[in-house]
């Protein structure tokens, strides 16, 4: 332990040299992303009791710490997650809104043009040109349904690719964070009170970037490493080990991707971050839009066919179906592990006004079926006798009894817009009449009246049902834009708060440099004086 004037002065020299070195490092890293301003911590050296007095022994350097605040760091990660969520949701929702609301790419004009052609045939039922226009418009209508459905599927593919990129980024970040955990734990000193500041800064940066993709919570360990959790406490990183995320396809739709961690679906376990924004867009905007579009397509095609088959064409034959769906049956998917069983599900024309834009889950257990409408998780009461049954615009028929517990997913409207096709190519086959009388337009009028009839659920017309979807997507897009602006402001505030607290201020560092320089020079002067005193003492005893 140093003592006396010289020893005390030497501790000052070392302390202020270290302080200037820290200040120099701060100045050098003024523009380094993620760098936290460092401080040299000093404490009074233990005193010595000599001849009834405690004599000071100078100063010790205890640690070089970085400016760090847990609350600010958590706020940065939270705001980054919220911003990533809002940004992804807004950008994708805006694309659906532009698609649906645009007169050129949406369905409103196509449906209007088709029914205008039907009205023209009703006005002149024997006109071959008018009938040809109706045939053309029917084909254009189905092609537009197909096109919009295809564009929605394209957006789904883009969203899936983005989800995969997110998952890859998350796995890369977690691996790097786990590696840093190992390095920090190995480099910790002083009973785990001194840690490598540059590694801590690097890890904080990675945690912030990870938060942009998925919302996380952290728990510090005594050795300086951190555990990272997602959702309801699932460990994403534990010390120097981590869990990998992956994407898996749904059993009902290869294009439906679920986020898996160690083989378990965790798609619903996170509420923020860009990955959550992609899942939210799919579940709250894309799927409902595709199902509602399919509801309009199915409702229009089925109701039009029903009326058309009641008429007579120019050949004197009974009207055939104007539209068809390929496949004609509603898609049914058996979940993996089913104990056999089979279903046939078709549209029920008599209860078409009960058809919902939703998927359904039919479960079989102990000899009984139960049906759940997945859009609102409503339990649908089935007749006591079981299947076959007609419910929500569908007829469900049992083809084979499961040998054990089984589950089926029914998707009545999901692919309807994609599968609808116009069947009639010969204008003579348009059944505009109900008799063979010349100029009979009775059935053509009935077909034209379908445009204004409340055929679909809640007594909505085809146009109203479509506009309801457009309005819903538009409202979501507008709310997403407002949310995005707010989250950008909050994130900017969080980043600014960190910059004010932990960022390097050149004016402050310059002032500190002068202060430490003066203190160093003063300590040097004490060393010089102590030498003079020592020389004088030697001279006195010679």
Structural domain contains residue 459 = no
Q: What is the pLDDT of residue 75?
A: 95
Regarding whether 270 and 178 lie in a shared domain, the answer is: yes
Q: What is the pLDDT of residue 182?
A: 94
Identify whether residues 260 and 349 lie together within a single domain. Answer: no
Q: Both 278 and 192 in a single domain?
A: yes
The answer to whether residues 274 and 356 belong to one domain is no
pLDDT at 112 over 90: yes
Tell me whether residue 293 is in a domain: no
187 and 260 inside one domain? yes
- Residue 210 phi/psi, 5-degree rounding, is -60, -40
Same domain, 192 and 268: yes
Q: Are residues 349 and 261 in the same domain?
A: no
Say if 140 falls within a structural domain: no
User: In the predicted model, what is the mean pLDDT of residues 37-48?
Assistant: 92
Mean pLDDT score, 307-323: 95
- Residue 427 · residue 134 · CB < 8 Å: yes
Mean of per-residue pLDDT scores for the chain? 91
- Tokens of residue 80, six digits: 């980054």
Asked if the structure places residue 307 within a domain, the reply is no
In a domain, 426, yes or no: no
Residues 193 and 260 in one domain: yes
What pLDDT score does 338 carry?
58
Q: Are 388 and 292 in contact (CB under 8 A)?
A: no
Residue 129 pLDDT > 70 = yes
Among 212, 113, 222, which residue's Cα sits nearest to residue 166? 212
449, 450, 454, 455 alpha-carbon torsion, rounded to 10°: 150
CB atoms < 10 A from the CB of 431, how many?
Answer: 24
Two tokens, residue 304: 């039009």
Residue ending a domain, among 283, 304, 321, is 283
The total number of structural domains that make up the chain:
3
Distance from the Cα of residue 293 to its chain's centroid: 23
Question: Mind giving me the DSSP string for 146-196?
Answer: HHHHHHHHHHHHHHHHHHHHHHHHHHHHHHHHHHHHHHHHHH-BTTTTB--
Q: Which residue, of 283, 316, 340, is where some domain finishes?
A: 283
Are 345 and 404 found together in one domain?
yes
Q: Is residue 492 part of a domain?
A: no
Is residue 319 one of the residues assigned to a domain?
Answer: no
pLDDT at 237 over 90: yes
Same domain? 196 vs 254: yes
Could you say which of 376, 410, 444 is where a domain stops?
410
Is the same domain home to 186 and 277? Answer: yes
Interatomic CA distance for residues 155 and 473, integer angstroms: 14
Per 3-state DSSP, the chain is made up of helix, strand and coil in percentages (nearest 5) of 55, 20, 30
pTM summary value: 0.89
Tell me whether residue 91 is in a domain: no
- The string of pLDDT tens digits covering residues 182-197 is 999 998 877 667 889 9
For residues 277 and 184, state if they share a domain: yes
Question: Which residue range(s) make up the domain with 401?
Answer: 332-410
Q: Where are the alpha helices (DSSP H) in 188-254?
A: 197-213
């Amino acid at each position: 332990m140093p003592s006396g004037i010289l020893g005390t002065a030497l501790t000052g020299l070392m302390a202020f040299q270290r302080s200037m070195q820290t200040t120099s490092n701060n100045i050098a890293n003024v523009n380094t992303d993620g760098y936290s301003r460092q401080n040299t911590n000093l404490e009074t050296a233990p005193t010595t009791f000599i001849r009834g007095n405690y004599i000071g022994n100078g100063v010790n350097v205890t640690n070089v710490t970085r400016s760090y605040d847990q609350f600010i760091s958590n706020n940065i990660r939270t705001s980054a997650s919220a911003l990533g969520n809002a940004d992804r949701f807004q950008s994708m929702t805006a694309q659906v809104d532009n698609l649906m609301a645009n007169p050129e790419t949406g369905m409103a004009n196509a449906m209007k043009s088709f029914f205008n052609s039907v009205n023209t045939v009703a006005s002149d039922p024997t006109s071959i040109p008018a009938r040809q226009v109706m045939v053309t418009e029917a084909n254009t209508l189905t092609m537009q349904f197909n096109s919009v459905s295809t564009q929605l599927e394209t957006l789904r593919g883009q969203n899936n690719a983005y989800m995969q990129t997110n998952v890859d980024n998350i796995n890369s970040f977690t691996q790097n964070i786990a590696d840093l955990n190992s390095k920090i734990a190995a480099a910790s000193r002083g009973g785990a009170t001194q840690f490598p500041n540059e590694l801590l800064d690097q890890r904080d940066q990675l945690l912030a970037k990870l938060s942009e993709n998925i919302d996380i919570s952290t728990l510090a360990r005594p050795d300086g490493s951190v555990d990272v959790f997602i959702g309801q406490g699932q460990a994403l990183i534990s010390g120097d080990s981590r869990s990998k995320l992956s994407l898996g396809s749904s059993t009902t739709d290869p294009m439906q991707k679920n986020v898996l961690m160690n083989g378990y679906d965790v798609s619903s376990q996170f509420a923020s971050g860009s990955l959550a924004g992609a899942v939210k867009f799919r579940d709250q905007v894309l799927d409902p839009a595709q199902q509602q579009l399919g509801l309009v397509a199915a409702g229009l095609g089925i109701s039009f066919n029903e009326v058309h088959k009641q008429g007579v064409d120019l050949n004197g034959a009974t009207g055939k179906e104007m539209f068809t769906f390929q496949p004609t049956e509603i898609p049914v998917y058996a979940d993996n592990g089913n104990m056999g069983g089979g279903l046939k599900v078709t549209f029920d024309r008599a209860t078409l006004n009960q058809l919902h834009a939703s998927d359904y889950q039919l479960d079989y257990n102990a000899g009984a079926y139960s049906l759940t409408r997945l859009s609102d998780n409503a339990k649908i009461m089935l007749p006591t006798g079981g299947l076959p049954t007609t419910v929500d615009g569908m007829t469900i028929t049992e083809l084979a009894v499961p040998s054990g517990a089984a589950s089926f997913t029914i998707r009545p409207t999901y692919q309807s817009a994609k599968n609808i096709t116009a069947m009639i190519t010969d204008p003579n086959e348009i059944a505009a009449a109900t008799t063979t009388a010349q100029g009979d337009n009775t059935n053509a009028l009935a077909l034209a009246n379908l445009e204004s009839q409340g055929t679909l659920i809640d007594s909505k017309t085809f146009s109203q049902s479509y506009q309801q979807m457009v309005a819903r997507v538009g409202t979501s897009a507008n709310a997403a834009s407002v949310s995005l602006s707010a989250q950008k402001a909050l994130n900017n505030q969080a980043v600014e708060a960190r910059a004010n607290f932990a960022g390097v201020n050149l004016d402050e560092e310059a002032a500190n440099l002068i202060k430490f320089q003066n203190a160093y020079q003063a300590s040097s002067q004490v060393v010089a004086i102590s030498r003079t005193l020592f020389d004088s003492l030697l001279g006195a005893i010679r």
